[in-house]
Structure 1
Amino acid sequence: MDPSAHTYFLIIAFGLTYDGMVSNGHKYPNTGLLVTILCVITSEGDCAPEEKVWEALNVLGVQDRKVHWLYGEPRELITKVWMQEQYLVYCQVPNNYPACYEFLWGPRAQAETTMLKALKFVLMVNHRDSHFVPSLPEGPECNENYYA
């Protein structure tokens, strides 16, 4: 990224092929938001309560039912677009009153990347090494598909 020259390079986040959404004839990258949600799900142990996802998104300035200048209406993006694209699964938790919902990785996310890559991404973003997560395998003998 070189703001002085107005040059930005977009990279694929740990293998995801989703490249954004079209709004007013422009294509805006929103993969970062998807990556954030996948990382929250991973850090919560395969499924994340809806409240945890919104807590993480609020830190980024993305609020439920409030139109965001880049992402539009985030609930629609998350629960409709990314579900339709099969990156996320959004489902009701059984036997709860009032109704509670949770997010899981969708089949497309599982096919394109691994939870190990998401965990490593979280560690990188938080400037941590994998020794902070004792269960995180190291070395070439690690089978990333184990975490998919």
Structure 2
Amino acid sequence: MAGQCTPEGRDFKELQEEELWELINDNRHKISLDVRPCRVIPYLRQARVLTEVDEDEILTSHKLSNRSMRTSYMLDLLRTQGRNGAVALLDCLMIHYPTLYTQVTGRKPSIEPSRFSGLIKYSELTEYLVRAVTGMQRSCRRLAQRPVA
């Protein structure tokens, strides 16, 4: 399924838990290299598949010495959440990493509200996206104001 990119076929929300985790685990190396936990944790917390304790452990544990290890550990924590963890991760990839989402699922990302899992209410999703865009705009402004060395 991940090799082909077609809009038709089964949506990831129709897949069983094991099929979802198989998709994710088949692409675990790529996800671990590309995904930044600090970028996706706010969505995963809002979807209630990670807790504040999980976030703190992922981001500050001295046992996790690099970003790939942090992301891999985050995937392990999401696995304990079963189907909801997989669906929330894929929703998050659809928003933040559309190219990676396409590689994992074989489908192009969609921003239609009906395409999201329902783990997060549409109003909360809108609020999350507004905060994410605002944060990105602030970061861009700060970068633009930095003196060039």
**Same fold by TM (over 0.5)?**
no
Query: Which structure has greater helix proportion?
Result: 2
Greater RCO structure (CA 8 Å; 6+ sep) = 2
TM-score of the pair, normalised by structure 1? 0.26
Query: Which structure has greater strand proportion?
Result: 1
TM-score of the pair, normalised by structure 2? 0.25
